[in-house]
Chains A and B, each alone.
Chain A
């Protein structure tokens, strides 16, 4: 064999002598366009978005006291979708009063099984309208239609279905403790899972006998407003659910209103702290579901090809806009090279683009503001010396986009290892012993979730026992179920959503 015959042409067209080239470089997979998928847009002609939405208060659609409206736009096209009412303190006051009235006149007087049947109705109609809701969710928030259709909607309906069934069983859920509702719940939810978060808040609150004032995020109000229409169609008594749209000021008004007995908030740790402070000295009950910086721990004995799916899903699902995202990868050093190669191959098959295309895997970043935050933190990663790899992809011109990215050479002190990026950016670090993995995983002010990957059952349990996180996923990631309690340790918040335990947030018990 001559030297010429021994040379290998790399995929970039260059060549190098055989001996000098490592196997990984001479063999490479080409995820190119030999067979490309044609555009597969979801049909949207059956979906009707109103040009303008009012507030839903006391079972009626009412104009905001200020007469002000704000636009909600699609982050993938930057086009305006609708005008939405801006609720100020007066509107919030009306809503809380309507909720109080709904509680006193109707909701607290119903036999529990009847309350349950109302909530079952909501679940059923959500299932009937699931396609329309998922399309609107995708247009308003930017997440791929594949996710809103297959994950957000079924889970949201399932939450209503699950909690409907608890309504008449509270005495069994908390035997001897005389469970009773708190009254009016003020609920503020984020933009990453707009409809699902509405379900997580409303379903247990209603089942437990409370009435609600819900404020959706200002960039994603539409699915909550469509849910209000569904609630209206289900003939729930007026005032049981009220939706007030607006931004931070509206949320503060809800949280601060003296007529609210219970506050539930999901969002950033910063805002959560402000709310906790605002409620200090009041008698209001509070639950918080805040940020995270979850570690995904991978041992060398894990089924690595499936680990890749879990890691990818952990950080790129929903563009990384997930409080429990696996944003740190802690991989056992001996498996680092192989896992990294597999991750990069897998990232090459991620499709970033039009969220309404059924083949899109990673959609748009929710807002310009969020995109700027992500860019800023990624820049810090590069400045602090970590090595960046971004999946090769062409991003559309209009809209807010960020290519799935991972950083290697990250250390615990880097900003990208400590701060929540809330975007499709993975920070990769190595460890050598299980103790080191645990230490690094727990070395954060957050404590929402974590992952552990190993083929050895006893190691799974041992690690799970030592992780200071409210949700531990072993050999899986991003699994949710209405029957499974979800919530954080430390600065990721307190209180649980889901399961029997999730009812406690909305009940007074002896």
Chain B
């Protein structure tokens, strides 16, 4: 440990402070490998094509270590939509049972990473108890929607007793690429709680994560990538919603939007931009208690908002 001297060669007050600070530094026995946080797009981890980043602090570390997360641009949004579209045919073409199995596997991966996800939330500003509760709720939410993939049909589909010799039935079908803006809080449960009902029916998602805690979304991406979810089904971007949402809302290849916690000006802009391709738009602002309420937040209504209904007629005769 170096001892400093001032230019007179003797100890001074400033010198003593420097000395004290120098004395406080202790090189660790083992230097940690710090994570580079990246966005999950198409099953791969990427930085923003713009090269932008946002610094997030880690209040839990000594000295408040700074970490960097990618800060997405409109071109990232554009690229993510292309990737999502590419994944749609495969995802919607799988059996409902298969989608359920994949979501259950995702729950297994999240369960294994409970500690890591809790810590991420804590570093994002939550206390330990709340963080753990949010992670547990997220895992159970995943199990709940794994169970919906092959059951909502029996609630929304119908055989229709039309007046005539026709066999008539209505079936729900997925829409395509759905743009999601996750709420600021809860950063993990809000993101997954919005995405799960949308992909359960075969849609694919481009999501803008919470700006209050973008780092948690990057950690979530790591769990998503190790489940059996095909690349491109869930794409998570970290970046400024005010800047990115208009591009998502205008995009002609996005079928619908699920918007959470937007301030009225931005919401209006998005709804107007959505008009160009007659997108289906849902906008809500739920408080954290509503997100944590499993019975309400696992209602099949969440799925119903993002399916189309197709009715088929066929004569019955010889």
Which residues of A are at the interface with B, using a C-beta cutoff of 8 A? 113, 116-117, 120, 124, 158, 161-162, 164-169, 171-173, 434, 456-459, 461-465, 482-483, 499-500
- Chain B residues with Cβ below 8 Å from A169 are 144, 147-148, 151, 298, 300
Determine how close the nearest CB of chain A comes to the CB of B155; give it in whole angstroms. Answer: 7
Q: Is the CB of A461 within 8 A of B97?
A: no
Interface secondary structure of A, over-half rule: helix
Q: Chain A: which residue is nearest B103 at the CB level?
A: A165
A-B contact pairs, 30 of them (CB 8 A): A113-B140, A116-B147, A117-B140, A120-B104, A158-B97, A161-B100, A161-B104, A162-B97, A164-B147, A165-B100, A167-B147, A168-B144, A168-B147, A169-B151, A169-B298, A169-B300, A172-B155, A172-B299, A173-B151, A434-B318, A458-B316, A458-B318, A459-B318, A462-B316, A462-B318, A463-B318, A465-B167, A465-B316, A482-B150, A483-B151
Question: A120's contact among B96, B143, B300, B318, by CB below 8 Å, is which?
Answer: B143
Question: A457's contact among B97, B149, B299, B314, by CB below 8 Å, is which?
Answer: B314
Determine how close the nearest CB of chain A comes to the CB of B32; give it in whole angstroms. Answer: 35
B146 in the interface, Cβ–Cβ < 8 Å? yes
Determine how close the nearest CB of chain A comes to the CB of B164; give it in whole angstroms. Answer: 13
Question: B151's contact among A113, A120, A166, A459, by CB below 8 Å, is which?
Answer: A166
Query: A124–B111 Cα gap in the complex (Å)?
Result: 15
Q: Mark B151-193, 1 if CB is under 8 A from A, else 0.
A: 1011100000000000100000000000000000000000000
- Chain B residues with Cβ below 8 Å from A161 are 97, 100-101, 104
Find residues 295-318 in chain B having any chain A CB closer than 8 Å to their own CB. Answer: 295, 298-300, 314-318
Q: Chain A: which residue is nearest B140 at the CB level?
A: A113
Question: B146's contact among A165, A173, A483, A500, by CB below 8 Å, is which?
Answer: A165
Query: A94–B299 Cα gap in the complex (Å)?
Result: 40
- Chain A residues with Cβ below 8 Å from B97 are 158, 161-162, 482-483
B294 in the interface, Cβ–Cβ < 8 Å? yes
Query: A165–B143 Cα gap in the complex (Å)?
Result: 8
Which residues of B are at the interface with A, using a C-beta cutoff of 8 A? 96-97, 100-101, 104, 140, 143-144, 146-151, 153-155, 167, 294-295, 298-300, 314-318
Query: A113–B150 Cα gap in the complex (Å)?
Result: 17
Known pairs A161-B97, A168-B144, A458-B318; list 15 more (Cβ under 8 Å): A120-B143, A161-B100, A168-B294, A169-B148, A169-B151, A172-B155, A172-B300, A173-B151, A456-B318, A458-B314, A462-B318, A463-B318, A464-B316, A482-B97, A483-B96
Q: Is the CB of A171 within 8 A of B104?
A: no
- Chain A residues with Cβ below 8 Å from B147 are 116, 164-169
Q: Is the CB of B314 within 8 A of A483?
A: no
Question: B150's contact among A162, A462, A465, by CB below 8 Å, is which?
Answer: A162
Of listed B101, B299, B317, B318, residue having the most chain A CB within 10 A: B318
Q: Chain B: which residue is nearest A435 at the CB level?
A: B318
Of listed B149, B295, B316, residue having the most chain A CB within 10 A: B316
Determine how close the nearest CB of chain B comes to the CB of A385; give it in whole angstroms. Answer: 32
Q: Is the CB of B317 within 8 A of A462?
A: yes
- Chain A residues with Cβ below 8 Å from B96 are 483
Determine how close the nearest CB of chain B comes to the CB of A314; give it in whole angstroms. Answer: 23
Q: Is the CB of B104 within 8 A of A499?
A: no
Q: Is the CB of A116 within 8 A of B150?
A: no
Determine how close the nearest CB of chain B comes to the CB of A318; give it in whole angstroms. Answer: 22
- Chain A residues with Cβ below 8 Å from B317 are 458-459, 461-462
Q: Is the CB of B150 within 8 A of A483?
A: yes
Query: A172–B151 Cα gap in the complex (Å)?
Result: 10
Query: A458–B318 Cα gap in the complex (Å)?
Result: 6
Q: Is the CB of A461 within 8 A of B314?
A: yes
Question: B316's contact among A158, A165, A173, A461, by CB below 8 Å, is which?
Answer: A461
Query: A124–B105 Cα gap in the complex (Å)?
Result: 10
Q: Which 6 A-B pairs have the closest CB atoms?
A: A165-B147, A461-B316, A500-B154, A461-B167, A462-B316, A458-B315
Query: A299–B299 Cα gap in the complex (Å)?
Result: 45
Determine how close the nearest CB of chain A comes to the CB of B163; give it in whole angstroms. Answer: 15
- Chain B residues with Cβ below 8 Å from A482 are 97, 150
Also in contact, A113 and B316, with CB within 8 A (given A168-B144, A483-B151): no
